Structure 1
Amino acid sequence: MSKSRRLPLVLAVVLTMSATAVAGWWAWGRPGPGDPAPPPPPSLATAEIVRQDMSTDVALSGVLGHGLTRPVKGGRPGIVTWLPASGATLKRGATLYRVDDQPVPVFYGSTPLFRPLDRLHIVGRDVRVVAENLEALGYEVGRRYRAGQRVRQTPPTPPGASAPPATYVEVRTGEDVLTAALVRAIGRWRVDAGLPASNVLGIGDVAVLRGAVRVASTTAQVGDEAEGLLMMVTTTGKVVTVEAEVAAATALKRGVKVRVRLPDDRTLPGKVSLVSTAVTDDPEGPAKLTVTITLDDPAAAARLDAAPVEVVFPGRTRGDVLAAPVGALVALAEGGYAVQVAGGGLVAVKTGLFAGGLVEVSGAGVAEGTRVVTTS
């Protein structure tokens, strides 16, 4: 057979095979009488653009209670002869513990007594602590010195030595002067407090605390040496503590206003009072710092001794804006974003605040109630 006669025959075979294959594919692809119908194409999810306020506020879990515990150590040698009960509240002038059966009362302040106050015209912050507390307890302490005033001091003279020349000391901010009137007030207070009669205050005669305390637990026992750890105390008022990641906690400042949601759905205003500097070591999570929040009205939570709460920290806020799901945004090749209107095309938008899965949008083609295609 010649080459020209074989070509049509080959072509006919190829066409026959192709037709058979197409027919087979068509028969295979079509559902039979008992086969289920193929599923319809998936419908596109849409959402409505809404007008609302948006905020990047952050809510963290916290605990309502008496806050962090602080240690109290004894300030002078001796034997512990009495300790307060756990839960006791101790204010200025109250006995915090007893050493050798002598009371150690509470004074408020930030500077402990670090030396004997045993001679006139001593100047210092410890003297101011004594003056302020005795005055608050109702004792007459006489004239108080102001910063910048000068005080004449005569150093003690050893026996048999000639008196050294007097010097002048300037009173600095936060200091006071041990005057004759203050010495007399010390003597009267000691008698009233049940301490041995004297006009001198020594190291450890009082426990200087930052304010009234609640005894969380006692760590010593009657009969122990008094110079060790005696008890753990907290503040008397209710506070909220939150464990926040270090980056978030260090961005908070004292006085930042927050909202505290209680288990009974009430929301109370409060503010950040302390951000600790001690990092908690959690092997199962990131390092955290403790943030302490005080309530503006602690009495509003008085009936709750301890409870889990939610603390809402402030962020950026935008009022009365158009908001769409973040999943509605379409990145444009030329830059920027658009949304696809349901049943229509793409409309370019400007984005603003992102919060809670929503994004602030604006543009000529979007308005409140516009439905847009979204992935979520």
Structure 2
Amino acid sequence: MTAVAVVLAVVAGGAYGAEALSDHGRRQLPGPAAAPSAQTVKVKQTDLSDSQTLSGVLGFDAPVTVKGTGKGVISRLPAAGSAVSRGKPLYWVDDEPVTVFFGDTPFFRPLEKAGTTGRDVTVLVENLQALGYELGPRPRQSAGTGGAAAGTGTELTTGVLDALKRWQHDTGRKETGTLDPGRAVVLSGPSRVDTVSAQLGDPATEEVLGLTSQEKTVTVKIDAGSAGSVHRGDKVTITLPDAKNVPGKVESVSTTVQGKADDGTGDAAASTPTLQVKVRPTHSADVAKLDAASVQVAFTAETRKNVLVVPVGALLALSEGGYALQRPGGKLVGVETGLFARGLVEVSGAGVKEGDVVVTAS
């Protein structure tokens, strides 16, 4: 009997121990995964802008070459970086200054005889007036008598010729009352000497120097497919190398496409078609210390004022079409979507207002 009792006790103890071990094992197993906690956000009212930021290069425009005219040799040249202003010498020929005038027609003949008319006379008249010289009775506009080259322009009067003499006297020139085309160069506006190609002693008819605008611009290449969103006059933000943001404006959008679409041949020469955009800083002083630099330009294509926005992850696509927002309790509220930008989306609808709490996946 004792043996039997011992055996029963052992069996019972083994059964109890097995149950205890089983309970211990179950306690060590991980429980079922908990449902992820829903993230929530509030519907906000703000301005939403669709923008893109592209790399650009700050610098001066490509230089325009100035070629001399007339007889003589170059006897003095400006330094690279020099400012070019109206009424000031640009370079010297036979030790006489070649003066800068502003306009759109070069001097192509001597201006010395009253009664001559043409656009070149107009340039002389406008520059003498801009330099502060009285011209007497206002020169009249008339059809030129110098052929097609002269075209419609201004008449050269004795008052203009007298003013020319006074200007020659005031600037230390010979008072001839004649403007020799070899002693004046007509430019489109204030400029800067970028390069000097001539050497002292070269003939006056050589290429003398290269000029750029005095103001710097930023050149940006933009995908031709999205260039329609960029327009002349658009305001932009330029980020300089020191991370400073300065305002700018689109000056021009090229109509010439550069590059070509990938034709699938793997040709390394194939590239995305682009257009060149010129951006000018609003304040030249902002970039005065930089001659050239890589910058970033932010273009804003569209701005929506005072609209309701949520993260894009808060949108739920409905099986019947359209979108909805979900309340924390599970209720769905249908919305209309507007502008998508910077991970946010514009929403509207009768059931949504600023401050509403909605579920979002991001």
* TM range, smaller chain: 0.7 to 0.9
Could you say if the C-alpha distance between residues 38 and 358 of structure 1 is closer, same or farther in structure 2, counting changes exceeding 3 Å?
Answer: same
Q: How many residues align?
A: 323
Instruction: Select 2:67's aligned residue among 52, 57, 74.
Output: 74
* 2:199 paired with 1:221: yes
Assess if the C-alpha contact under 8 Å between 1:120 and 1:179 holds in 2.
yes
Please, what TM-score do these two structures have when normalized by structure 1? Answer: 0.71
How do 1:302-341 and structure 2 match up within 5 A?
302-341=288-327
Could you say if the C-alpha distance between residues 361 and 243 of structure 1 is closer, same or farther in structure 2, counting changes exceeding 3 Å?
Answer: same
- The letter of the residue matching 1:116 is P
Could you say if the C-alpha distance between residues 360 and 181 of structure 1 is closer, same or farther in structure 2, counting changes exceeding 3 Å?
Answer: same
Assess if the C-alpha contact under 8 Å between 1:244 and 1:291 holds in 2.
no
Assess if the C-alpha contact under 8 Å between 1:61 and 1:309 holds in 2.
yes
**Which residue is 2:181 aligned to?**
203
Q: Deviation string for 1:280-329 (max 9, x for gaps)?
A: 5595553231313141x333544555554443334322223221222333
1:71 Cα offset (Å): 1.4
Could you say if the C-alpha distance between residues 323 and 253 of structure 1 is closer, same or farther in structure 2, counting changes exceeding 3 Å?
Answer: closer
CA distance in 2, matches of 1:41, 1:112: 84
Larger mean CA deviation between 355-364 and 308-317 belongs to 308-317
1:218 Cα offset (Å): 1.7
Q: Indicate the SS of the match to 1:333.
A: coil
CA distance in 1, matches of 2:207, 2:229: 34
**Which residue is 1:372 aligned to?**
359
- The letter of the residue matching 1:317 is T
1:213 Cα offset (Å): 1.4
CA distance in 1, matches of 2:198, 2:275: 30
- The letter of the residue matching 2:135 is V
**Which residue is 2:208 aligned to?**
230
Could you say if the C-alpha distance between residues 347 and 250 of structure 1 is closer, same or farther in structure 2, counting changes exceeding 3 Å?
Answer: closer
Instruction: Select 2:124's aligned residue among 130, 137, 141.
Output: 130
**Which residue is 1:13 aligned to?**
none
**Which residue is 1:160 aligned to?**
none
Q: Once superposed, what is the RMSD of the aligned Cα atoms?
A: 3.6
Instruction: Select 2:49's aligned residue among 46, 55, 77.
Output: 55
Q: Deviation string for 1:2-38 (max 9, x for gaps)?
A: xxxxxxxxxxxxxxxxxxxxxxxxxxxxxx88x9859
Assess if the C-alpha contact under 8 Å between 1:103 and 1:194 holds in 2.
no
Could you say if the C-alpha distance between residues 274 and 75 of structure 1 is closer, same or farther in structure 2, counting changes exceeding 3 Å?
Answer: farther
1:68 Cα offset (Å): 0.7
* 2:273 paired with 1:286: yes
CA distance in 1, matches of 2:321, 2:155: 71
- The letter of the residue matching 1:79 is V
Q: Indicate the SS of the match to 2:221.
A: strand
**Which residue is 1:165 aligned to?**
none
CA distance in 2, matches of 1:249, 1:224: 46
Instruction: Select 1:271's aligned residue among 226, 244, 249.
Output: 249
Assess if the C-alpha contact under 8 Å between 1:47 and 1:325 holds in 2.
no
Q: Deviation string for 1:203-241 (max 9, x for gaps)?
A: 343111122212122233334444343322222234444
Structure 1 runs not aligned, ≥5 long: 1-31, 157-170
**Which residue is 1:12 aligned to?**
none
Assess if the C-alpha contact under 8 Å between 1:144 and 1:177 holds in 2.
no
CA distance in 1, matches of 2:38, 2:113: 85
Q: Indicate the SS of the match to 1:56.
A: strand
Could you say if the C-alpha distance between residues 256 and 301 of structure 1 is closer, same or farther in structure 2, counting changes exceeding 3 Å?
Answer: same
Assess if the C-alpha contact under 8 Å between 2:248 and 2:279 holds in 1.
no
**Which residue is 2:155 aligned to?**
177
Could you say if the C-alpha distance between residues 188 and 271 of structure 1 is closer, same or farther in structure 2, counting changes exceeding 3 Å?
Answer: same
- The letter of the residue matching 2:236 is V
Structure 2 runs not aligned, ≥5 long: 1-24, 261-268
Identity of aligned residues (%): 43
Q: Indicate the SS of the match to 2:212.
A: strand
CA distance in 2, matches of 1:308, 1:37: 56
CA distance in 2, matches of 1:177, 1:39: 99
